[in-house]
Amino acid sequence: MNRLWTIMRKEIFHIWRDPRTLAMIVVLPALLLLLLGFGISFEQQSVKMAVADFSKTDASRRLIEKFTASNDFIYQYDVLDEEALIDLINQDLVDVGILIPENYDRDLLSGTQANIPIYIDGSMQPTDALTIQLKLNSITSIVAQDILIQKVQKSGLATSIEMPVSGILRTLYNPNGDSKLYMIPGLIAILLQIQTLILSALAIVREREQGTMEQLIVTPVRSWELMLGKILPYLIVCIFNLFALLWLSQLFFGVTVAGNLGVLIGLSIFFMLGSLGMGVLISTISQSQMQAMYILMFVVLVPAIILSGLMFSRENMPPFTYWFSELLPVTQYLEITRGIMVRGVEASSLFLSSTLPLIVLSIGYFVASFLVFRKRI
C-alpha cells in the first residue's frame, strides 16, 4: 500500500511539474467542448430555393407562399427556365428548385392533375436530403388537400370538411428539437474517452522509453501497484474534467443533468477506469509512444468518434461494425450520458442495453490490463 502511494505521489509530481501539459489536460477538453458544441449543434437553417414560375398566376403565387410560410424554405432566386434552375443547384447556390408549369392554373381549374417538378440537390448529407424531401412532400400534400377541400365545398357536397385523421405529435424530453441537447452529452462522452486513453497509454509507454521501467523492475514494487499507482492520479484528473464539462454544458448550452447526478458520476468512474485500463493495455503491447499513438488513434479513437453513435445512427450498421462498436465502452457510456442527461431516466431502465455492458466491458478491460502488464523487459 505504501508503494502504491509512492507511485501515485510520483505521478502527481510528474503532472504538477509540467505546467504546460497540465494546462492542456485541464483546458483543452473544455475548449473542444465549446468549439464542437457550438459547431456541431448548428440548427437546421432554412433551405434556399429557386423558382421558375411559368404560370405567373394567383394560384402559382399561393403555391410558392405555402413553401415559404413556415420559414423552412427561403425564396432566394427567381429564374426563367429550367436550365437556369439546374445551374443554380450546380453552383450550390440553392438546394431546391421548383418549376411551376405554364398550365398549372388551367390544370387546377380543369381538374387534371398538375405535375410540378421539384429538383433537390442530392449531394448533401443524406439525412438532410431526406428531411427536405419529407418537408416538400408534406407541403405539396397540404396544397393538394386545400384545393380538394375548396372543390368539395364549391360543389356543395358539404359546407365544411374536417380531415378524418389528425396525428397529434408530442415530443418527449427535447420538445424544441434542440440538437445541442442531443450532441452535448455525446461530446462529453467522446472527450472523456480521448482524455483517459491518451493519458494512461502515454504514461506507461513513456516510462519504458525513458528507461525508468528497467529501474522500476528491480524494485519490489508489484505490477498491480505500479499500474494502479499510475492510473489513479489520472482518474482524479478525468473526474475533474467531467465536472468541468458538465458545468460548461450548463453555462454555455443550457444543458443540465435531467436525471440523477450521482448515478451519472458513478457510471462515469466505471467508464474511466475501463478506458484507463484500455490505455494500459495499449501501452503494454506497444514498444514506443509512436506505436501506442497509432493503436489508440486507429483502433479506438476514430472508431469511437464515428461508430459510437455520436453523429450517426448505429441501427443500420452491418453486423461486424455494429458489434465492433458495441465493444467500445464509449458506445455504452454515450447511451448512458444521453439517457441520464437528456431523458432523465434511471440507470436501471438502461440496465440491459447499456449499463450492464458498460460495467462488464470496463471490468473486462481493466482486468485484462492487469493480466497483460508484466514487470519484465
Partner 1 sequence: MGIVISTEHLSKQFSKRNAPLVLDDLSLSIPGGILYGLVGPDGAGKTTTLRILSSVMLPTGGTATVMGYDTRKNPDLIHKQIGYMPQNFSLYPDLSVGENLNFFADIQQLPSSRKPARISEMLRFTRLEEFKSRRAGTLSGGMKKKLALACALVHEPQLLILDEPSTGVDPVSRREFWVILAEVVQHGVTVVVSTPYMDEAERCHQVSFLSHGKIMATGTPNELISALPFNILELKASPRKKMRQIVGETQGILEWRPVGDTLRLAVPNNGATEQTMVSLQQRLDQEKMRVSLLRKSRPSMEDVFVHLVNTQRGQV
Contact residues: partner 1, CB under 8 A:
2-3, 6-7, 10, 13-14, 17-18, 210-212, 214-221, 375-377
Q: Which is nearer to partner 1, 16 or 42 (CB)?
A: 16
CA 290 → CA 11, 283, 374, distances in Å?
21, 10, 20
| Beta carbons within 8 Å of 35's beta carbon, 6+ residues apart | none
Of 47, 46, 42, 64, the residue nearest 55 (C-alpha):
64
* Least separation in angstroms between CB 23 and partner 1: 16
* Least separation in angstroms between CB 226 and partner 1: 9
* Least separation in angstroms between CB 207 and partner 1: 9
Q: State how far the Cα of 178 lies from the Cα of 42, in Å rounded to an integer.
A: 9
Q: Which is nearer to partner 1, 172 or 377 (CB)?
A: 377
Q: State how far the Cα of 255 lies from the Cα of 252, in Å rounded to an integer.
A: 8
Q: Which is nearer to partner 1, 18 or 65 (CB)?
A: 18
Q: Which is nearer to partner 1, 221 or 360 (CB)?
A: 221
Q: Which is nearer to partner 1, 14 or 106 (CB)?
A: 14
Q: Which is nearer to partner 1, 56 or 222 (CB)?
A: 222
Whether residue 198 contacts residue 206, with contact meaning beta carbons closer than 8 Å, is answered with: no
C-alpha cell at 231: 492510473
How close are the terminal C-alpha atoms of the chain, in Å?
Answer: 24
CA 57 → CA 91, 119, 319, distances in Å?
29, 21, 54
* Least separation in angstroms between CB 212 and partner 1: 5
* Least separation in angstroms between CB 15 and partner 1: 10
Q: Which is nearer to partner 1, 182 or 370 (CB)?
A: 370
Q: State how far the Cα of 309 lies from the Cα of 331, in Å rounded to an integer.
A: 7
* Least separation in angstroms between CB 371 and partner 1: 18
Indicate the DSSP class of residue 349.
Answer: G
Query: 3-class SS at 304?
Result: helix
C-alpha cell at 1: 500500500
Q: Which is nearer to partner 1, 12 or 359 (CB)?
A: 12
* Least separation in angstroms between CB 5 and partner 1: 8
Q: Which is nearer to partner 1, 90 or 287 (CB)?
A: 287
**DSSP code string of 244-294:** HHHHHHHHHH-----S-HHHHHHHHHHHHHHHHHHHHHHHHH-SSHHHHHH
Query: 3-class SS at 362?
Result: helix
* Least separation in angstroms between CB 292 and partner 1: 19
Where helices occur in the chain by DSSP H, the ranges are 2-17, 19-40, 58-69, 82-90, 104-110, 126-155, 179-210, 212-217, 223-253, 261-285, 289-295, 302-307, 319-326, 329-338, 356-372
* Least separation in angstroms between CB 281 and partner 1: 22
